[in-house]
Amino acid sequence: MAAPLPPTAPPLNSPVFGPVDAHGAKRSPDEVRIILEILDEETNVFMKDSGIDGPAARELKSEMPEIKWVVLQRGPVRQANNPSAALIGRIRDAKAGLLRPQQAAPAAIIDTSKPLSEVDKFILENRLDQNAAVSLRNEREDVQKMVMMQGPLVNCRSPAGALMARIRAARQGQTV
As a whole-number percent, the residues of the chain with pLDDT over 90 amount to: 22
The whole-number pLDDT of residue 155 equals: 79
Q: What is the pLDDT of residues 19-54, one digit of tens each?
A: 777 667 788 888 888 888 999 999 999 989 888 998
> What value does the mean pLDDT take over residues 54-61?
91
- In sign, the C-alpha dihedral spanning 54, 56, 161, 125 is positive
Does pTM surpass 0.85? Answer: no
Q: What is the pLDDT of residues 65-114, one digit of tens each?
A: 888 888 888 888 888 889 999 899 888 888 877 655 445 555 566 666 77
The yes-or-no verdict on residue 148 having pLDDT over 50 is: yes
The whole-number pLDDT of residue 145 equals: 95
Burial level of 139, CB count in 10 A (0-12/13-18/19+)?
A: middle
Please report which confidence band the pLDDT of residue 1 belongs to, taking 50, 70 and 90 as the band edges.
Answer: very low
What CA–CA distance (Å, rounded) separates 150 from 101?
Answer: 33
> What value does the mean pLDDT take over residues 148-167?
88
Q: Please, what is the average pLDDT of the chain?
A: 80
What angle in degrees, to the nearest 10, is found between the helix axes of 29-50 and 65-73?
40
The whole-number pLDDT of residue 60 equals: 92
The whole-number pLDDT of residue 112 equals: 67
